[in-house]
Amino acid sequence: MLEKDIQEVLFSEEQLKTRVNEIAQEIDRDYAGKEIMLISVLRGSFIFMADLCRAIDLDCTLDFMSVSSYGKGTSSSGQVQITKDLSEDISGRHIIVVEDILDSGNTLSYLLKILEHRHPASIRLCTLLDKPDRRVKPVEVHYSGFTIPDAFVVGYGLDYAEKYRNLPYIGILKPEVYGG
């Protein structure tokens, strides 16, 4: 049972669904008449990506990229590695990078820089969660689901030591689980 490790439910399935639909509508409005490409940053964003893309009405293509900076710990090492690159060429295309959480900003500031060098027509960031208290590198966010306090959150794609991604809601992990 995963529930025993959760201190508090931060966002229920219902709350997540409502907010994801709102973001999708915002994207539909902003890019009306255009074709967009969603880039999911694996692995954390896979569930958000799946729900977001199904709530978007526009012509849309999808691609996936894998970056890792956390390893098994609870805070970013600052060392970002691309473990899987995109399959598609993004030049001249309207890109939205889809992330589960913006924390220190290390992952996204690095990633956005790399993607900008590939000359997309435009590039925006869509993150489900934003934890501004922990920001080390500034990152410009265009779509943000929720601003959250500095607590260790899991579920809906977010892991601790690769577990809890399959929780259907987002919860705060009990500190004793990670020795906090």
Does 101 contact ligand PRP by CB under 6 A? yes
85, 103, 130, 150: the active-site residue: 103
Q: Which one, of 129, 84, 67, 134, lies nearest residue 105 by Cα?
A: 134
**Which residues fall within 8 angstroms of residue 21, CB to CB, at 6 or more apart?**
55
Q: How many residues bind ligand PRP (CB under 6 A)?
A: 18
**Is residue 13 near ligand PRP by the rule CB under 6 A?**
no
Q: Which does 93 bind (CB under 5 to 8 A by kind): ligand PRP, Mg ion, Mn ion, none?
A: none
**Smaller CB separation from Mn ion, 31 or 106:** 106
150 counts as catalytic: no
- Range 84-103, binding Mn ion (CB under 5 A): none
51 binding ligand PRP? (CB under 6 A): no
Q: How far apart are CA 140 and CA 126, in angstroms?
A: 10
Of 27-35, 43-51, 116-124, 147-155, the segment contacting Mn ion by CB under 5 A is 43-51
> What burial class does residue 74 get, using C-beta atoms within 10 Å of its C-beta: 0-12 exposed, 13-18 middle, 19+ buried?
middle
Contact pattern from residue 121 through residue 160 relative to ligand PRP, giving x for each residue in contact according to CB under 6 A and a dash for the rest: --------------------------------------x-
Binding flag, residue 44, Mn ion (CB under 5 A) = yes
Q: Which of 36, 51, 53, 69 binds ligand PRP (CB under 6 A)?
A: 69
Strand boundaries in the chain, DSSP class E: 6-11, 36-42, 60-68, 81-84, 94-102, 122-130, 143-147, 153-154, 170-173
Question: Is there a contact between 53 and 23 (Cβ–Cβ < 8 Å)?
Answer: no
C-alpha–C-alpha distance, residues 106 and 111, integer Å: 9
Q: Name the residues annotated as catalytic.
A: 103
